[in-house]
Protein backbone atom coordinates (compact mmCIF):
# COMPACT_ATOMS: atom_id res chain seq x y z
CA UNK A 1 0.00 0.00 0.00
CA UNK A 2 1.30 3.43 -0.95
CA UNK A 3 0.31 5.40 2.12
CA UNK A 4 1.67 8.12 4.38
CA UNK A 5 0.88 9.64 7.76
CA UNK A 6 2.01 13.20 8.46
CA UNK A 7 1.99 15.17 11.71
CA UNK A 8 2.96 18.81 11.29
CA UNK A 9 2.89 21.18 14.24
CA UNK A 10 4.05 24.79 14.24
CA UNK A 11 3.14 27.84 16.31
CA UNK A 12 0.57 28.62 13.59
CA UNK A 13 -0.97 25.25 12.70
CA UNK A 14 -1.42 21.71 13.99
CA UNK A 15 -2.03 19.27 11.13
CA UNK A 16 -2.71 15.53 11.01
CA UNK A 17 -2.90 14.00 7.53
CA UNK A 18 -3.18 10.51 6.08
CA UNK A 19 -3.00 9.71 2.38
CA UNK A 20 -3.61 6.51 0.42
CA UNK A 21 -2.67 6.84 -3.25
CA UNK A 22 -4.57 3.65 -4.11
CA UNK A 23 -7.83 4.56 -2.42
CA UNK A 24 -11.39 5.07 -3.59
CA UNK A 25 -11.71 8.85 -3.36
CA UNK A 26 -12.73 9.26 0.28
CA UNK A 27 -12.09 12.72 1.65
CA UNK A 28 -12.41 13.52 5.34
CA UNK A 29 -11.25 17.12 5.41
CA UNK A 30 -11.51 19.65 8.22
CA UNK A 31 -9.02 22.50 7.87
CA UNK A 32 -11.05 25.28 9.45
CA UNK A 33 -11.20 26.85 5.97
CA UNK A 34 -14.48 25.82 4.36
CA UNK A 35 -13.55 26.56 0.77
CA UNK A 36 -10.28 24.62 1.08
CA UNK A 37 -12.20 21.68 2.55
CA UNK A 38 -14.42 21.70 -0.54
CA UNK A 39 -11.46 21.90 -2.95
CA UNK A 40 -9.51 19.11 -1.23
CA UNK A 41 -12.60 16.88 -1.21
CA UNK A 42 -12.83 17.39 -4.99
CA UNK A 43 -9.11 16.67 -5.37
CA UNK A 44 -9.44 13.40 -3.41
CA UNK A 45 -12.58 12.29 -5.27
CA UNK A 46 -11.23 12.98 -8.75
CA UNK A 47 -7.81 11.48 -7.99
CA UNK A 48 -9.38 8.50 -6.19
CA UNK A 49 -7.10 9.20 -3.24
CA UNK A 50 -8.17 8.55 0.32
CA UNK A 51 -7.30 11.75 2.16
CA UNK A 52 -7.94 12.55 5.79
CA UNK A 53 -6.76 15.96 6.93
CA UNK A 54 -7.45 17.97 10.06
CA UNK A 55 -5.92 21.34 10.73
CA UNK A 56 -6.21 23.60 13.74
CA UNK A 57 -4.83 26.91 12.59
CA UNK A 58 -4.70 30.58 13.48
CA UNK A 59 -7.66 31.44 11.24
CA UNK A 60 -8.47 34.33 13.59
CA UNK A 61 -5.46 36.00 11.92
CA UNK A 62 -6.42 34.83 8.42
CA UNK A 63 -6.46 31.60 6.39
CA UNK A 64 -2.96 31.92 4.94
CA UNK A 65 -1.06 29.68 7.37
CA UNK A 66 -3.68 26.92 7.31
CA UNK A 67 -3.82 26.86 3.51
CA UNK A 68 -0.05 26.96 3.03
CA UNK A 69 0.67 24.36 5.71
CA UNK A 70 -2.04 22.04 4.35
CA UNK A 71 -0.21 22.23 1.00
CA UNK A 72 3.11 21.46 2.68
CA UNK A 73 1.66 18.49 4.59
CA UNK A 74 -0.01 17.07 1.47
CA UNK A 75 3.25 17.44 -0.46
CA UNK A 76 5.21 15.67 2.29
CA UNK A 77 2.65 12.85 2.33
CA UNK A 78 2.76 12.46 -1.43
CA UNK A 79 6.56 12.29 -1.39
CA UNK A 80 6.55 9.69 1.40
CA UNK A 81 3.81 7.54 -0.17
CA UNK A 82 5.65 7.42 -3.52
CA UNK A 83 8.93 6.23 -2.01
CA UNK A 84 11.54 5.85 -4.77
CA UNK A 85 8.79 6.20 -7.43
CA UNK A 86 9.63 2.84 -8.97
CA UNK A 87 7.20 1.87 -11.75
CA UNK A 88 5.11 5.05 -11.78
CA UNK A 89 3.95 6.75 -14.97
CA UNK A 90 5.65 9.94 -13.64
CA UNK A 91 3.79 12.40 -15.90
CA UNK A 92 0.16 13.46 -15.91
CA UNK A 93 -1.85 16.10 -17.72
CA UNK A 94 -5.45 17.10 -18.20
CA UNK A 95 -7.49 19.82 -19.83
CA UNK A 96 -10.55 20.06 -17.61
CA UNK A 97 -13.78 21.97 -18.37
CA UNK A 98 -16.05 23.19 -15.57
CA UNK A 99 -18.97 24.93 -17.24
CA UNK A 100 -17.42 28.07 -18.82
CA UNK A 101 -14.06 27.52 -17.09
CA UNK A 102 -11.25 25.57 -18.72
CA UNK A 103 -8.02 24.68 -16.90
CA UNK A 104 -4.88 22.89 -18.02
CA UNK A 105 -2.91 20.95 -15.40
CA UNK A 106 0.33 19.19 -16.34
CA UNK A 107 2.83 17.74 -13.90
CA UNK A 108 6.02 15.75 -13.58
CA UNK A 109 6.97 13.89 -10.39
CA UNK A 110 10.56 14.84 -11.15
CA UNK A 111 11.82 15.58 -7.65
CA UNK A 112 12.32 19.18 -8.81
CA UNK A 113 9.95 21.76 -7.41
CA UNK A 114 8.61 24.22 -9.96
CA UNK A 115 5.24 25.94 -10.14
CA UNK A 116 4.04 27.77 -13.24
CA UNK A 117 0.65 29.24 -12.40
CA UNK A 118 -1.28 31.41 -14.81
CA UNK A 119 -4.77 32.45 -13.80
CA UNK A 120 -7.00 35.49 -13.85
CA UNK A 121 -9.54 34.79 -11.12
CA UNK A 122 -12.04 37.67 -11.26
CA UNK A 123 -12.99 37.80 -7.57
CA UNK A 124 -10.57 38.59 -4.77
CA UNK A 125 -12.68 36.41 -2.49
CA UNK A 126 -14.88 33.35 -2.89
CA UNK A 127 -17.10 33.65 0.15
CA UNK A 128 -14.56 34.57 2.84
CA UNK A 129 -11.67 32.78 1.08
CA UNK A 130 -8.88 34.90 -0.43
CA UNK A 131 -8.38 33.63 -3.98
CA UNK A 132 -4.66 34.52 -3.90
CA UNK A 133 -4.26 31.60 -1.48
CA UNK A 134 -4.98 29.12 -4.29
CA UNK A 135 -1.55 29.85 -5.77
CA UNK A 136 0.02 29.66 -2.30
CA UNK A 137 -1.43 26.17 -1.81
CA UNK A 138 -0.08 24.92 -5.14
CA UNK A 139 3.34 26.49 -4.45
CA UNK A 140 3.58 24.81 -1.03
CA UNK A 141 2.50 21.45 -2.50
CA UNK A 142 4.99 21.67 -5.36
CA UNK A 143 7.90 22.55 -3.09
CA UNK A 144 7.18 19.92 -0.44
CA UNK A 145 6.56 17.09 -2.92
CA UNK A 146 9.20 18.05 -5.49
CA UNK A 147 6.69 18.35 -8.33
CA UNK A 148 7.00 20.31 -11.54
CA UNK A 149 3.44 21.65 -11.70
CA UNK A 150 1.86 23.75 -14.43
CA UNK A 151 -1.64 25.14 -13.89
CA UNK A 152 -3.03 27.40 -16.58
CA UNK A 153 -6.50 28.91 -16.80
CA UNK A 154 -7.53 28.79 -20.46
CA UNK A 155 -11.01 30.28 -20.00
CA UNK A 156 -13.49 31.16 -17.31
CA UNK A 157 -15.53 33.93 -15.73
CA UNK A 158 -16.85 32.40 -12.51
CA UNK A 159 -14.20 32.35 -9.78
CA UNK A 160 -15.61 29.27 -8.05
CA UNK A 161 -15.70 27.32 -11.32
CA UNK A 162 -12.10 28.27 -12.14
CA UNK A 163 -10.82 27.16 -8.73
CA UNK A 164 -12.86 23.96 -8.82
CA UNK A 165 -11.49 23.10 -12.27
CA UNK A 166 -7.95 23.56 -10.94
CA UNK A 167 -8.35 21.14 -8.04
CA UNK A 168 -10.24 18.54 -10.08
CA UNK A 169 -7.60 18.74 -12.82
CA UNK A 170 -4.82 18.37 -10.25
CA UNK A 171 -6.45 15.25 -8.81
CA UNK A 172 -6.90 13.61 -12.19
CA UNK A 173 -3.45 14.55 -13.54
CA UNK A 174 -1.78 13.38 -10.34
CA UNK A 175 -3.65 10.06 -10.53
CA UNK A 176 -2.19 9.52 -14.01
CA UNK A 177 1.31 10.30 -12.76
CA UNK A 178 1.25 8.03 -9.67
CA UNK A 179 -0.32 5.07 -11.48
CA UNK A 180 1.94 2.05 -11.72
CA UNK A 181 2.73 1.39 -15.38
CA UNK A 182 3.17 -2.36 -15.93
CA UNK A 183 5.65 -1.72 -18.76
CA UNK A 184 7.94 0.04 -16.27
CA UNK A 185 7.27 -2.14 -13.21
CA UNK A 186 10.35 -2.22 -11.02
CA UNK A 187 12.07 0.60 -12.95
CA UNK A 188 12.76 4.19 -11.96
CA UNK A 189 11.25 6.23 -14.83
CA UNK A 190 14.37 8.31 -15.46
CA UNK A 191 17.65 7.84 -17.33
CA UNK A 192 19.35 9.19 -14.19
CA UNK A 193 18.15 6.18 -12.20
CA UNK A 194 16.64 8.38 -9.51
CA UNK A 195 13.75 10.84 -9.18
Asked, for residue 65, whether it belongs to a domain, the answer is: yes
Say what the pLDDT of residue 90 is.
97
What CA–CA distance (Å, rounded) separates 70 from 170? 15
Q: Whole-number mean pLDDT of the chain?
A: 97
Three-state DSSP at 84 gives coil
pLDDT tier for residue 1 given thresholds of 50, 70 and 90: confident
In degrees and rounded to multiples of 5, residue 194 shows phi and psi of: -155, 145
Number of domains comprising the chain: 1
Using alpha carbons, select from 142, 145, 179 the residue that is nearest to residue 22.
179
Whether 66 is in a domain gets the answer yes
Residue 195 lies in a domain: no
The number of residues making up the chain comes to 195
How confident is the model over 154-168, as pLDDT tens digits?
999 999 999 999 999
Looking at the domain assignment, is residue 147 inside a domain? yes
Residue 98 counted as domain residue: yes
Q: Please report whether residue 130 resides in a domain.
A: yes
The pLDDT tens digits for 5-32 are: 999 999 999 999 999 999 999 999 999 9
Q: Are the C-beta atoms of 15 and 55 separated by less than 8 Å?
A: yes
CATH number of the domain enclosing 178: 3.30.230.40
Question: pLDDT value at position 193?
Answer: 86
Asked if residue 129 lies in contact with residue 36, where contact means CB atoms within 8 angstroms, the answer is yes
Residues 6+ apart with CB under 8 A from 38: none
User: Each residue of 101-152: pLDDT tens digit?
Assistant: 999 999 999 999 999 999 999 999 999 999 999 999 999 999 999 999 999 9
3-state secondary structure of 114: strand
191 contacts: CB under 8 Å, gap ≥ 6: none
Query: For the chain, what percent of residues have pLDDT higher than 90?
Result: 93
Residue 151 domain-assigned (yes or no) = yes
Residue 184's pLDDT band, with cuts at 50, 70 and 90, is confident
Residue 180 per-residue DSSP state? B
Instruction: Give a yes or no: residue 192 inside a domain.
Output: no
Annotate 113-168 with DSSP letters as a single string: -EEEEE---S-SEETTEETHHHHHHHHHHHHHHT-EEEEEEEE-S-HHHHHHHHHH
φ and ψ of 114, to 5 deg: -155, 125
Which residues constitute the domain of residue 129?
A: 3-184
Amino acid sequence: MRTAQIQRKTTETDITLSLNLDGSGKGEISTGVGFLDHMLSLFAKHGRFDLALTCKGDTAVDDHHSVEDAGIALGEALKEALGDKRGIARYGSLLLPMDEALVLCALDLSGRACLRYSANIPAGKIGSFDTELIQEFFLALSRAAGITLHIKQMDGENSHHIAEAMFKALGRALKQAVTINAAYAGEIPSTKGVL
